[in-house]
Structure 1
Amino acid sequence: MFRRKLAILAVAVLAFAVLALGVGAKAMDATLIGLGVVGVLFAAAIWSSLRISSFLQVFTGIFGVEYVLFGGVVLLGQLGLWPEALADFMVSRSLPATVAVFGILVWAASHLRVIRSITDIADLYFNDREVKPAQIWPFGVVRMRENRLATIALVSLVLINQVQVGINVRLSFFNRDWFNAIQEKNAADFWSLLYTVFLFWAVIYIVIAILEYVVQSGLTIRWRQDLTNRYTTHWLDDGTHYRMALTGEQADNPDQRIAVDVDRFIELTYGFSITLLATVTTLVSFAIVLWNISASFTIPGTEIVIPGLLFWTALVYASVGTLITHFIGRALAPLNFQQQRFEADFRFSLARLREYAEQVALLEGERAERQIVMGRFGNVIDNFWRIVNLRKRLLAFTAFYGQISPIIPYVIAAPFYFLGKVQLGVLTQTAGAFGRVEGSLTFFINYYVSLADYKAVIDRLTTFGASIRAARALGREPPRLDIAQESGPDVRLDDVELRLPGGRAIVSVPQLTLRAGESALITGASGSGKSTMMRALAGIWPYGEGRISVPAGASVMLLPQRPYIPMGTLRLAVSYPALSGVYTDAQLRDALVAARLPELADSLDSQENWSGRLSGGEQQRLAIARALLARPDWLFLDEATSALDEFSEAALYKMLAEKLPETTVVSIGHRTTLQAMHRRHLQMQPGADGRFTPGDAEQRATA
C-alpha cells in the first residue's frame, strides 16, 4: 500500500517539477529552473525508492510531500498569488530544492552496505503487517497494522523535529532583535519581543517536546517488543538454538544480543536517523542565515570579499576536524565489538558458576573457577584500557577543537562590529548561526564514539541473524537426513549415516526397525553414537543422510540425562514443555506421586530455583512426571534414570509400563539390570571403518 502511494507521489513530484521548469523558463528565473531540475531528479529517485527499505521510504515520502508543498508556496509567491497577510510565513526559495536533495541523498544512502545492514534489521518491524491493538490518545484503543502505526509515529516525529528546527531559526532572529534593543536601550521593544515572541514560541516548543517524548516512547517500546519477539522466535524455532550451539557460528551470548543489542539498536537507530535529519535541517536553515549575514564579509585584514565567508569557514573547519577525528578513532568500532563480547562472556561465566554451584563446591573447584572468571574479566579490563587509550587521544583532539570553535565567528565578524557596520544583535546572531552550522557539520566528530558503538551493535545483530539462518539451513540441502511421516506404526531407519559436527561419520544404520509396543534398550561403549542416534530419531540432529520413517501424527518425547528445569513455580517445572494451565492440579499431583515425588505434590505454586534445590535423581523423576502428563507415543530415555538407585529405577520402569501402556519406550543405558526391563536389546557394534552399527544382542521376555 505504501509503495503505491509512493508511486503516486513520484508522479506528483514530476508534475510539479515540470510546472516549475515551465514557469521558470517563462520568467527567466534561475531559482525556479533549478527547482524544476532537482524535482525531476527527485521524482526519478522516488520511483527507484519503490524497491528500497520500507524504513527509508518513510523519509523519502516525507521529503516528497514537503517538496510539493514548499515548492507550491514558492511558486505562488513568484506568481504574486501568495496572500499579503501570510507574508511572514513565506518559505525560503531554496527550501523546496533542499528537501528534494535530502530525498535524493536518502535514495543514494540506501545503496551503502552499512545502511543496508541497518535497514535489514529495521524493516523486520516496518514490514510487520499484523493487526495489533494500540492505545492512542484521544481515540482510546484502536486496532491497526503494526507497520502503518510505526509509519505514522515516525512521520509525526520527523515533522515535530522539523518544527523544532524552525522554532530555533525563528528564535535566532528574536535573539538578534532582542540584543539590538538592548544595545539601543529600547525598553519597549525589549519587553514586547520577550512576551510576544519568545514566550509564545517557547511554550509551543515545550508542548511539542512533551508530545515528541510520548510518541517516541510508544514507538521504541513497540519496536523493541516486535524485534525481541522475532529474534527469540527465530532463535528457538525448529531447534535452531541447539543447531547454533553445534555449528559454533559467530553468535556468542545470544541472550545479550536479544536483551541488550536489540534495545541498543532501536535506541541508536531512532536517535541517529532523527538526529541526523535534524542536523541536516539545521545545517541548511542556518547556512542560509549565515550566508546572508556574511554575504559581503571580507577576509580579516584584507579587502577581498568572499560571499558567504562564514559558511565556507565553517565547512572547511568542520571537514578538517572530521578527517582528523576519523584518523584517530577508526579502530574504536572493532574495539567496542570486542568489549561487548568480553562483557557477555564474563556475565555468562558467572551465571554458569551459579548454576553449577553444588558441583563446584563438591569438587572444591573455587580456586579454578576464580581463575577462569578473573581470566575472562581480565579480557574485559585489557580491552577496556585499549579503548581508554584510543578515546584519550580522541578526546584530546575534540576538546581542543571544541574550545576553538566558538571564537572563530567573533574573530571574523568583530571588525565589522567595531567599524559600526553591524549591530550587537547581528554579531550574536552570527555567532549563533555559525555555531549551529559548524555543529551540524561536525556531527561525525560529536557522535564518533556513539557511532562506533552503533556499528558494533549492528555487527552483532547482523552476525546473529546470519548464524540463525546458517543453523536453520543445516540438514536442508541433500545429502540430508530425511524424516518421513508414514502410515505404519513403526519407526524405521534406512541407509542412515550420522556424522559429528566436524564431519566424521560415527553411526551407520543400513536398516533398523523399532516396532511399536516393543520396548528397546540401546547399549554400547561411550562415544559409540547412542545419544547421536537418539537425537536423530527425535528429529533434532542435522548432520547425516538417509531416511527415518516415523508414524504419521505420532508424538515423540526425549528425556536427557540432565533434564532442563525452567525458572518459576513447580507447576511450570512439571508442566514443561506444555504451557501453563494445560494440566489440572490433580493431574500434576498424581504425576508427581507416581514419579515417587509425593513430598512435592503440595508445592505446585512454590517459586524456587528448582534446578538447584532438587538432587539429580529428583530432577530425573520430575522429568518422568512430565512424560506421564504428556503421554507420548514414543518415549526416548537417554540415561534418564542414571542418577537413581536400581530399585527406584526398576520401580519407575514398571510404573511407566502400567501408566503408559500405549507408549513405546526406547532407552539408552549402561546398567545390565536395564535389560530385564526391555523386550529388545540393541548393541552399538564397531566396524572396521570406525563407525558403529546397532544390532540385536539378545531377546528377553518383558519384565
Structure 2
Amino acid sequence: MFHSFFPKPKLFFTSLIVWTLVCIFLWYGFVADWGASIGYAPIPEDQMPIDLRFFLTPDNRFFYAYFFVCTVLFGGVWNYIARDHPWIDWSIWGSALILFCTYFGVQVYVAINNWRRPFGDLLQNALTGKPGVTVWDFYSLQLIFCQIVFLSMFVSILTDFFVSHYVFRWRTAMNDYYMSQWERVRHIEGASQRVQEDTMRFANILEGLGVSLINSVMTLIAFLPILFALSSYVTELPVIGPIAHSLFWLAIGWSAFGTLLLAFAGIKLPGLHFRNQRVEAAYRKELVYGEDHADRAQPITVVELFSNVRRNYFRMYWHYLYFNVARYFYIQADALFVTFMLVPTIVAGKITYGIYQQIATAFGQVSNSFQYLVNSWTTIIELLSIHKRLKAFEAAIDNLPLPDIDQRYLKGQNEEEVNPAQP
C-alpha cells in the first residue's frame, strides 16, 4: 500500500515526522525571531490588513521562504537516497505541494477571521444606532470578503484537481505492484476485488482523509496562537472559574472528550466492516460462478451465503445505533459549548460582537482540528477494514503467514459461516 508509492515508507515517514518537528521547533525557537530582527516582523493586530495584502505581509513572506528551504532540503536528500524509485517525483514533491496549498488554504480562514472583527463591530454599531455608519462601510467590507473568497476558490479548485491526480498515481502504483506479484496473491480469497476495488477505495478514502488530516494540523499551527491571544478577553468560565489561556484548554479538553467517546463507542465497527466485505465477496463470487456453471449458485447455497450477509448487516445496524447516539449527542452539544462557556464574559460586557465572532471562529477551527477523529471516524472505520484486506496481499508477497481472519476463513473455522442457522 505504501512502499509501492513512497520510497522506504517506514524510514520516509519517520524522517518526515522528525524533520517536521525540527522545523517547527526551529521556527518558534529561533527562526521567527531572527526574521523579525531583519525586517520581517509580524504586523501588530490593530494594523493587520484584512484584504489580500494579508497574504503578503513580511512575516508571511518569510514563512513561505522558510517552508521552501525546508522542503528542498528534505526532498533533495530523499531524491538522492531513492533516485531509482519510479514514483519519487509524485510522492515527495507532490506531497510538498499539497502541504503548501493546504497551509495557504488555512491562511484564507485566518484572513476571514481577521475580517470578522471589523465587520461584526460595524454591524453592532449599525444595529445600536451609533452615528457615522454608512452604506459604503458595509459594501467595502463585503467587497474585501469577496476578494478573499474568490482567491480561496481558485486555490481550492486547483488543489483538488492536483490531489485527484496525485491519489490516482498512488492507486496506479499499488495496482502495478500487486499485478507484478499476481502469482503470489491470486490464491487469496477475492484477490481480483482487492486489486481492483480495494485499491480504488483505499485511494479515494485517503484523498479525503489525508487532506483533512493535513488541513487539521495546519489549522492548529495557524489558529492556536490566535486562540491564545483571544483568551485574554475570557477571564472566567462557568463552573470552572478563572483559568489562564482558557480557550486553548477548553478546545483541547472538549475535543479529547469527543474523540475518546466515539473511539470507545465505535471500537467494534472496523472488524464488522471487514467481515462485511468478506461475506459480500463470498456471495458475489458464488453468483458469478453461477453465471457459467449450472451446478453453482444453487438455492440452498445462495440462501446460506445471503444469510451471512444479512446477519452481519443486522449486527452493524445495532452497533451503529449506539455509536450514532454518542456521535449525535456530541455534535449537538458541540454547537452550544463555546457559547455556554462565554456567557459570563458576554454578560459582563467584556467583548464586542466582532470579538465574539473571532472567538467563535477560532475556537471552532481549533476544536474541529482536534476533533479530526470525531469527524472522520466512520470513514476511518472503512479505511481500516480495507487495510485489513490488503494486508493479506502484503503477507503473501512477503511470504509471511496470512492474518488470523484470513487463516480462519481458509481453514473453515468461522462458526457463523459453517453454521448459518445460528441466530
- The two structures have a TM-score, normalised by structure 2, of 0.76
Cα distance between partner residues in 2 of 1:384 and 1:190: 54
* 8 Å CA contact retained: 2:39, 2:58: no
Deviation, structure 1 residue 129: 3.4
Q: CA deviation at 1:412?
A: 2.3
Q: Percent of pairs identical after alignment? A: 21
Q: Please state how far the C-alpha of 1:283 moved relative to its aligned partner.
A: 2.5
Q: Which amino acid in structure 2 is aligned with residue 252 of structure 1?
A: E
State the 1:267 CA deviation. Answer: 2.5
Which of 100, 111, 123 lines up with 1:159 in the alignment? 100
Alpha-carbon spacing, 1:407–1:471, altered in 2? closer, same or farther (3 Å)? closer
Distance verdict in 2 for CA 1:50–1:403, change over 3 Å? same
Establish whether residue 428 from structure 1 lines up as the match of residue 357 from structure 2.
yes
Shift in alpha-carbon separation, 1:302–1:219, aligned structure 2, 3 A: closer
Aligned to 1:183: 124
Measure the CA separation in 2 of the matches of 1:234 and 1:51.
19
Counterpart in the other structure of 2:34: 75
2:322 is matched by which residue type in structure 1? Answer: R
Aligned CA distance change for structure 1 residues 156 and 299 (closer, same or farther; 3 Å): same
What displacement does 1:462 show?
1.1
Indicate how the Cα distance of structure 1 residues 85 and 433 shifts in structure 2: closer, same or farther if over 3 A, else same: closer
| Aligned 1:343-422 pairs, distance under 5 A | 343-356=280-293, 359-360=294-295, 369-422=298-351
Query: In 1, are the aligned partners of 2:209 and 2:376 still within 8 Å (CA)?
Result: no
Give 3-state SS (helix, strand or coil) of 1:421's partner. coil
Aligned match of 1:171: 112
**Does structure 2 retain, via aligned residues, the 8 Å contact 1:295–1:306?**
no
Quote how far apart the aligned CAs of 1:329 are: 0.9
Distance of aligned partners of 1:371 and 1:444 in 2 relative to their CA distance in 1, 3 Å threshold: same
Which residue of 88, 93, 117 corresponds with 1:147? Answer: 88
Determine whether 1:268 maps to 2:176.
no
Unaligned runs of 5+ in 1: 1-48, 104-122, 131-144, 246-250, 473-501, 503-703
1:306 is paired with a residue whose SS is coil
Counterpart secondary structure, 1:305? coil
1:231 deviation in Å? 0.3
Query: Which residue in 1 is equivalent to 2:158?
Result: 211
Give the match's secondary structure for 2:398.
helix
CA contact (8 A) 2:223 2:365 kept: yes
Aligned to 1:306: 243
Q: Would you say the 8 A contact 1:162–1:278 is kept in 2? A: yes
One-letter code aligned to 1:147: I
Structure 1 residues 369 and 446 mapped into 2: Cα distance closer, same or farther (>3 Å)?
A: same
Q: Which has the higher contact order (CA 8 A, sep 6+)?
A: 2
Give the Å deviation of 1:282: 1.3
Q: Give the 3 Å change call, closer, same or farther, for CA 447–205 of structure 1 in structure 2.
A: same
Distance 1:271 1:383 in 2: 27
- 1:462-507 Cα offsets, whole Å, 9 max, x none, are 11221233399xxxxxxxxxxxxxxxxxxxxxxxxxxxxx9xxxxx
Conservation of the 8 A alpha-carbon contact between 2:236 and 2:345: no
CA spacing shift, 1:288–1:216, aligned 2, 3 Å = same
8 Å CA contact 1:296, 1:307 repeated in 2: no
Partner of 2:74: none
Per the alignment, residue 269 of structure 2 pairs with: 332
The answer as to whether partners of 2:227 and 2:248 remain within 8 angstroms in 1 is yes
Does the Cα contact within 8 Å between 1:58 and 1:151 map onto a contact in 2? no
- For structure 2, the 5+ residue unaligned runs are 1-6, 49-56, 72-77, 127-132, 402-410, 412-423
Deviation at 1:189, TM superposition (A): 3.4
Whole-Å separation in 2 of the counterparts to 1:267 and 1:207 = 22
User: 1:393 offset after TM fit, Å?
Assistant: 0.7
CA contact (8 A) 1:405 1:435 kept: no
Map of 2:84 onto structure 1: 129
- Within 5 Å, give how 1:634-673 maps onto structure 2: none
Q: Distance in 1 between matches of 2:111 and 2:334?
A: 23
Alpha carbons of 1:320 and 1:55: their partners in 2 closer, same or farther (altered >3 Å)?
closer
CA 1:255–1:395: 2 relative to 1, 3 Å: same
Choose the corresponding residue for 2:191, options 233, 242, 254. Answer: 254
Q: Is the 8 A contact 1:180 1:424 kept in 2?
A: yes
Query: Which residue does the alignment assign to 2:12?
Result: 54
Compared CA separation, residues 397 and 434, structure 1 to 2 (3 A) = same
Q: Residues 591-602 of structure 1 correspond to what in structure 2 (within 5 A)?
A: none
- Give the paired residue count: 363
Q: Counterpart of 2:54? A: none
Deviations 1:281-304 (A, max 9, x none): 212322322222122523346894
Taking the aligned partners of 1:315 and 1:84, their CA distance within structure 2 comes to: 26
User: How far, CA to CA, are the matches of 2:238 and 2:279 in structure 1?
Assistant: 56
Is the CA contact (8 Å cut-off) linking 1:294 and 1:309 kept in structure 2? Answer: yes
Could you tell me how far apart the structure 2 residues matched to 1:182 and 1:302 are?
A: 32
CA–CA distance in structure 1, aligned partners of residues 180 and 240 of structure 2: 69
Q: Look up the equivalent residue of 2:137 and give its one-letter code.
A: D
Shift of 1:59: 6.3
**Alignment partners' CA distance in 1, 2:104 and 2:88:** 24
Q: Return the alpha-carbon distance in structure 1 between the equivalents of residues 275 and 229 of structure 2.
A: 48
Q: Counterpart of 1:214 in 2: which secondary structure? A: helix
Q: Check the 8 A contact 2:119/2:138 in 1, yes or no.
A: yes
Q: TM-score, normalised by structure 1?
A: 0.47
Report the aligned-residue RMSD: 3.4
Judging changes above 3 Å, is the alpha-carbon distance between structure 1 residues 390 and 434 closer, same or farther for their aligned structure 2 residues?
A: same
Q: For residue 206 of structure 1, what is the amino acid of its counterpart?
A: M
Matched to 2:321, the amino acid is K
Q: Secondary structure at the match of 2:298?
A: helix
> 2: CA distance between counterparts of 1:303 and 1:256?
54
Distance apart, 1:440 and its partner CA? 1.5
Q: Is contact 1:296-1:308 (8 Å) kept?
A: no
Superposition deviation, residue 338 in structure 1: 0.5
Rate the CA distance shift 1:407–1:180 in 2: closer, same or farther, 3 A: same
Please give the alpha-carbon distance, in whole angstroms, between the structure 1 residues aligned to 2:84 and 2:225: 42
- What does the per-residue CA deviation read over 1:411-452, in whole Å, with 9 as the maximum and x for residues that have no partner? 222332333321111112212222222212221122112112
Q: Matches of 1:69 and 1:429 in 2, distance apart?
A: 25
Q: Tell me what 2:398 maps to.
A: 469
CA apart distance, 1:266 = 2.1
Query: Greater helix share, 1 or 2?
Result: 2
1:261-660 to 2 correspondences below 5 Å: 261-300=198-237, 304-356=241-293, 359-360=294-295, 369-470=298-399
Give the direction of change, closer, same or farther, for the CA distance of 1:347–1:224 in structure 2 (3 Å limit). Answer: same
Counterpart residue type for residue 75 of structure 1 = W
Q: Residues of 2 paired with 1:51 and 1:234: CA distance?
A: 19
- Give 1 or 2 for the bigger CA radius of gyration: 1
Answer 1 or 2: which has greater strand percent. 1
Aligned partner letter, 2:31: G
